[in-house]
């Protein structure tokens, strides 16, 4: 369970922003979307490899 203590003189908007940030870090939404349909393990690995290659390419373009 995510707990966000609202500090004194802190706006609700700022506290809500901190909550959203913590919630995003847990990855709950990402997991829910992934569980909506079954994905074969071979397809999962393939997409991970494609994403890793894309990230690698972006990093090399950024450096070079």
pTM here is 0.57
What is the structure's pLDDT at 25?
Answer: 94
Contact indicator for 2, 25 with CB cutoff of 8 Å: no
Contact indicator for 2, 26 with CB cutoff of 8 Å: yes
pLDDT per residue over 2-61, tens digit each?
999 999 999 999 999 999 999 999 999 999 998 999 999 999 999 999 999 999 999 999
What is the structure's pLDDT at 1?
Answer: 86
Confidence check: pLDDT of 63 > 90: no
What is the structure's pLDDT at 61?
Answer: 92
What 3 state SS string does 1-63 have? CCCCCCCCCCCHHHHHHHHHHHHHHHCHHHHHHHCCCCCCHHHHHHHHHHHHHHHHHHHHHHH
């Amino acid at each position: 369970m995510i707990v966000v203590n609202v500090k004194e003189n802190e706006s609700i908007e700022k506290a809500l922003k901190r909550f959203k940030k913590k919630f995003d870090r847990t990855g709950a939404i990402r997991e829910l979307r992934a569980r909506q349909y079954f994905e074969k393990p071979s397809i999962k690995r393939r997409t991970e490899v494609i994403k890793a290659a894309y990230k690698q390419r972006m990093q090399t373009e950024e450096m070079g």
